[in-house]
A and B are shown apart, each in its own frame.
Chain A
């Protein structure tokens, strides 16, 4: 009996070796003493849990968790639509899977001194900001003084982006770095700017600190993946093989508030899938930037202030579909259609939106190792579609082969 109690305790604490765990689990089926031992061990361990110092959870956590009870959006009609059928017919895996790092340039290539210095300064400011919004920071514990003091000393990220993009960029002084500049300024940065401005003001919540933590993390990775010499030691880490699960994306997007400059949107997430999406941080950064671009396009156009994100694996074999959808008016959908199909006129309001989609297109040429955008468009590897009163944006990413379970970076 003592041995059984010990086994039950070891099992509960997760320290019983795997083979013995399996034997113990088998014993539970028909051995009352084993079951009683397990129940007792669990109760003992549960009571020890209560020795942890009590901490309060914010209301925003309850709101996020209660969203589980919302009915799932049904993607079956979209997955049965003609573009996705076309994708299913046309998609084939490349022999060597793309795992990120493409589109990266040297920051030195930017010979516009203001742009060069501002990008560097923003990166350095974000490096300073990150520990101040981390989960073990004073801000996470409710003391905002250090964070606010730091934010007051930094130029507003929103204002910085506005100042840099108020005039069209001089492409001669940027050269091949144009894509990297756009990715750094227009993917997660607008949302980051929104939340840091809010935290610098009077109306903010703990949820904003959390959101800013994830945005800082994402933005830093995106900038390192865009400019190889902005932080070489951290980029070396980002280039190491390390699986990133769909859960990482779901965790940060779940119940989030998103902003694209002055447009805000509530994010609703599907349950994504259980498994890895990317193999390296640099790949994850590119994937992430694409998702932010889709979110930025939809947030201002949603009829009800919400948009939905979902990641679906194997609806198209060997492929992960990232899908963003929102209820839209016919006019808003027409705008999306023109943006996605390159039909926009050089109107400033839509110019940055067209850039967002261009970033996704260029990423697709790398991900699928195919330079012809028209071919990729024909194959429906990315696109825009309308079903009933909703617009759908998507891009397809090559799945990782032969992985049995999800893992986290």
Chain B
């Protein structure tokens, strides 16, 4: 899989549009799902994906194998860009969104069927792993990962120390890693 990813990237770097299309087919869905989860806005999530693919085509050197797996880098980039937009929008709207908002947003899933049985099994596995995390670790991960809150803000919100935030984040991820060791990206 790693070799396939590197091949795709190298071909894109050489201007191969078929490889670019292959990249889209393989990863755009996961990237979009993540971005939509964070932003709750379809058009903004599409803009994030559009921007990232545009960068990849125009500046493929933005990635290098030293930065780890191409797929991982893509998803982290998607997450970070989505968080940047989320924060920018929040500043513009000039009111804070509570940590309940993510879960209380209108469920857009009902009408939007994604049909991929294999990915569904793995997500089920992942969601189970996530839900079995100790609540304090899960909370910190949600705020940090999906809301992009900085650790100081999380510490203040939850009335815990900065060090506790850091350790809960790390421990949560380590627990997930053990559960997800076979997960295919």
**Chain A positions near chain B (C-beta within 8 angstroms):** 5-6, 9-10, 12-15, 28, 35, 38-39, 41-57, 61-62, 64-66, 68-69, 134-136, 138, 140-143, 210, 213-214, 247, 251, 254, 271, 408-409
Interchain CA distance A13-B79 in the complex, whole Å: 9
Residues of B within 8 A of A214 (CB): 43
How many Å lie between the Cα of A39 and that of B68 in the bound state? Answer: 5
A46-B185, A52-B34, A54-B123 as given contacts; A38 in contact with B67, CB under 8 Å = yes
Q: Measured between alpha carbons, how far is A44 from B178 in the docked complex, in Å? A: 10
If A9-B173, A66-B24, A210-B46 touch, does A50 touch B30 (CB 8 Å cutoff)? yes
Contact A140 B68 (CB under 8 A): no
Number of interface residues of B (CB under 8 A): 78
Does B98 reach chain A (CB closer than 8 Å)? no
Query: Can you name the residue of chain B whose Cβ is closest to the Cβ of A137?
Result: B42
Minimum CB–CB distance from B78 to chain A (whole Å) comes to 7
Measured CB to CB, the residues of B under 8 A from A are 17, 20-21, 24, 28-30, 32-34, 36-47, 49-51, 53-54, 57-58, 66-69, 71-76, 78-80, 83, 88, 92, 105-106, 108-116, 119-120, 122-123, 126-127, 130, 141, 144-145, 148, 150-151, 166, 169-170, 173, 176-177, 180, 183, 185
- A196-B166 Cα distance, complex, nearest whole Å: 50
Partner of A135, one of B45, B80, B145, B180: B45
Nearest Cβ distance between residue B44 and chain A, in whole angstroms?
Answer: 6
User: CB distance A50 to B185 under 8 Å?
Assistant: yes
Could you tell me if A5 and B170 are in contact, using CB atoms closer than 8 angstroms? yes
B79 touches A45 (CB 8 A): yes
- CB atoms of B127 and A51 under 8 A apart: yes
Cβ-closest chain B residue relative to A271: B58
**Contacting pair B24 A56 (CB below 8 A):** no
CB–CB A210/B43 < 8 A:
yes
- Residues of A contacting B109 in the complex (Cβ-Cβ under 8 angstroms): 53, 55
Dominant secondary structure of chain B at its interface with chain A? helix
CA distance A343 to B31 in the complex (A): 53
Are B123 and A9 within 8 A (Cβ)? no
Q: Check A53 against B33 for contact (C-beta < 8 Å).
A: yes
- Asked if residues B83 and A68 are in contact (CB atoms below 8 Å), the reply is no
- Tell me whether B183 and A65 are in contact (CB under 8 A): no
What separation, in Å, do the CA atoms of A62 and B20 have in the docked complex? 11
Given that A49-B78, A52-B33, A271-B58 are contacting pairs, would A65 and B24 also be in contact in the complex, using a CB cutoff of 8 Å?
yes
Query: Which of B24, B45, B78, B144 is the one whose CB lies under 8 Å from A62?
Result: B24
User: What chain A residues lie within 8 Å of B69 (beta carbons)?
Assistant: 39, 42-43, 46
Residues of A close to B37: CB separation below 8 A: 52-53
Q: How far is the CA of A64 from the CA of B51 in the complex (A)?
A: 11
- A61 — nearest CB in chain B belongs to which residue? B46
Q: Give the Cβ gap from B57 to chain A, nearest Cβ, in Å.
A: 4
CB-based contact B30/A57 at 8 Å: no
Cα–Cα, bound, A299→B61 (Å): 36
Tell whether, in the assembled complex, residue A254 and residue B72 are in contact, meaning their CB atoms are under 8 Å apart. no
Q: Are B47 and A251 in contact (CB under 8 A)?
A: yes
How far in angstroms is the closest Cβ of chain A from B85?
8
Assess whether B20 is in contact with A69, with CB atoms less than 8 Å apart: yes
CB-nearest residue of chain B relative to A143? B111
